[in-house]
Amino acid sequence: MKSSSKYEVVIKKLLAQKMEINELNRMANNEQLYRFHQSLKSESLCIEQLNRMEFSVINGFIVFANTKIQYKLQPIVCVKLGEEQFAEKDDRQLMARLNFKRAVTKIIVKLQAYKFNLYILRT
């Protein structure tokens, strides 16, 4: 009797894992994978939400694509360029530092655009 319940538990676990793998594959093929990175119960922000923002930076202003509303870009003082701004492609260490600082700057600009977009939607 005990062994039959153990077998039943093992079979249920294997079936659940197989169904979960099939569902994940289906979602990945339908490009619905962004849902895994969103915590629906919290106000946390994910990179997918920032990437969905449609805006461009023109002459120091954030311009939203759908409404053409302009917002002055706040100066980014937390990322300072040092010697890496003069880096050449063969200097790997300086180029890596430069690419990292550029990526951080892009994320900060996206955060500014997101915050202003929330402000627009509230008013």
pLDDT at 36 over 60: no
Give the pLDDT band of residue 41 (cuts 50, 70, 90).
Answer: low
Overall domain count for the chain: 2
How far CA 73 is from CA of 63, 68, 76, 109, in Å, comes to: 10, 15, 9, 8
Q: Which region holds residue 42: left if phi is over 0, alpha if psi is between -120 and 50, else beta?
A: beta
Shared domain check, 81 and 56: yes
64 and 88 together in one domain: yes
Does the pTM of the predicted model rise above 0.95?
A: no
pLDDT in tens, 8-35: 888 888 888 888 888 877 776 776 555 5
Per-residue model confidence as pLDDT tens digits over 46-72: 777 788 888 888 888 888 888 888 888
Residue 56 falls inside a structural domain: yes
3-state secondary structure of 35: helix
Are 45 and 25 members of one domain? no
Residue 69 located in a structural domain: yes
Domain span including residue 15: 1-31
36 occurs within a structural domain: no
